[in-house]
Amino acid sequence: MSPASGPKPEPAARLSRLAANQHGIFTRSQALSLGVPRSTIARRLAGGVWVQLFPGVYAFAASPVTWRRSLLSACLVSGPSGVASHRAAASLWELAGFTARVIEVSVPRSCKRARADVVHRPRLLPRADVTRVDGIPVTTVARTLVDIAGDVRIEALEEALDDALRRRLTSIRQLWRCLERVGTSGRTGTARLRGLLAARDGPGTVPQSVFETRLLRAIHAAKLPRPELQFPVETGMGRALLDFAYPNQRVAIEADGFRWHSSRLRWDHDRERRNALSVLRWKIIHATWSQLRDRPDEIVAAVRALLAS
């Protein structure tokens, strides 16, 4: 053996390295394939050095117990076809509104239910719909949105969709293609997702925050015309981007959120920007989180009045 190549790592060291990339867990077959003897497996389980999470799925006892570890172990016990999906996938992708740490996996129909706290979805996913996040097999964002469309309220679906598009985790085109493949007639939620996509199928049609998504929803519910989003206006200060705009009436809605007056410099800039827009005869309505949450009718009434005037 040449000095450059060096001795091969011991099976235990190779297993430790593998488990470090898998949230501290590994399967029996992985341990055996790395050369760990069956007697060693039995001894370390009996001694409490390793713990069994599922039949054939183990963890180093010292590894921290996390939701991601539990999710990956539920995938591994299902074999190579186990994939985090639906609400678990939405949480793994950290889509807006999905923070519940549910363990939900898609598995082949032949796979037996492994544990009561794991939600199983009996389906075999095509490779095009599967990727990895933090070492965990998971459905792509497009497939995740199609899957949850029938499981959550349309408001939650809309906010998750806009968040995914804002962060460029997927695209309108990818979502339409996924719907063409798996969004068959009669599939729950398909129609509502198609409707949301149709409203966003064009440049500048995606709200830039959850707040803007909810504000746009309130405008739509009031049957007001849909405004243009991120509308550019040339002012003496340069180009101003209006959150929502009705260009013909020169009416704009600014979704102030928590950023409004966050500093003296920002306050001065916003005042100068507003004055420049006033010179151009733009009428600005400022909407805040608390107003949208507690008094949305005030915003709607102000918009309706300005559009009528």
What DSSP string runs through 9-40? PPHHHHHHHHHHTTTTEEEHHHHHHTT--HHH
Q: What is the mean pLDDT of residues 252-259?
A: 74
| Residue 6, in any domain of the structure | no
> Rounded to an integer, what is the distance from CA 192 to the centroid of its chain?
18
pLDDT at 215: 93
**Any idea what the CATH number is for the domain that residue 269 is in?**
3.40.960.10
Q: What is the mean pLDDT of residues 273-295?
A: 84
Greater confidence, 188 or 226? 226
| Residue 231, in any domain of the structure | yes
Identify whether the C-beta of residue 197 lies closer than 8 Å to the C-beta of residue 172. Answer: yes
The reply to whether 75 and 187 lie within a common domain is yes
The reply to whether 225 and 188 lie within a common domain is no
CA neighbor of 156 nearest in space, from 145, 169, 166, 165: 145
pLDDT at 24: 94
pLDDT at 178: 93
Give the end of a domain, one of 198, 219, 254.
198
Greater confidence, 100 or 34? 34
| Residue 1, in any domain of the structure | no
The reply to whether 89 and 192 lie within a common domain is yes
Domain extent, residue 302, equals 210-308
The reply to whether 140 and 191 lie within a common domain is yes
The reply to whether 115 and 140 lie within a common domain is yes
pLDDT at 267: 47
Positive or negative, the CA dihedral 167, 169, 171, 176 is negative
Q: What is the mean pLDDT of residues 214-243?
A: 88
The reply to whether 259 and 170 lie within a common domain is no
Please list, in sequence order, all residues whose beta carbon lies within 8 angstroms of the beta carbon of residue 153, skipping any fewer than 6 positions away.
none
pLDDT value at 204 more than 80: no
pLDDT at 186: 66
pLDDT value at 248 more than 80: yes
Domain total in the chain: 3
Greater confidence, 4 or 139? 139
Give the end of a domain, one of 160, 177, 198.
198
Distances, alpha carbon 177 to alpha carbons 100, 129, 193, in Å: 28, 11, 13
pLDDT value at 303 more than 80: yes
| Residue 2, in any domain of the structure | no
The reply to whether 147 and 78 lie within a common domain is yes
> What is the rounded CA–CA span in Å between residue 49 and residue 15?
13
Identify whether the C-beta of residue 114 lies closer than 8 Å to the C-beta of residue 54. Answer: yes
| Residue 111, in any domain of the structure | yes
| Residue 289, in any domain of the structure | yes
| Residue 205, in any domain of the structure | no
Q: What is the mean pLDDT of residues 111-115?
A: 57
The reply to whether 258 and 241 lie within a common domain is yes
pLDDT at 304: 93
The reply to whether 84 and 34 lie within a common domain is no
The reply to whether 20 and 108 lie within a common domain is no
The reply to whether 271 and 183 lie within a common domain is no
**For residue range 152-203, what is the model confidence (pLDDT) as tens digits?**
999 999 999 999 999 999 999 999 999 998 877 667 889 999 999 998 877 6
pLDDT at 264: 47
Q: What is the mean pLDDT of residues 31-44?
A: 94
- Tokens 């995606």 belong to 206
Q: Which of 14-18, 46-50, 285-289 has the lowest mean pLDDT?
A: 285-289
Identify whether the C-beta of residue 131 lies closer than 8 Å to the C-beta of residue 142. Answer: no
Give the end of a domain, one of 198, 230, 253.
198
The reply to whether 160 and 41 lie within a common domain is no
Q: Which of 10-24, 87-101, 233-247 has the lowest mean pLDDT?
A: 233-247
| Residue 284, in any domain of the structure | yes
pLDDT at 263: 46
Q: Which of 64-73, 131-140, 282-291 has the lowest mean pLDDT?
A: 282-291
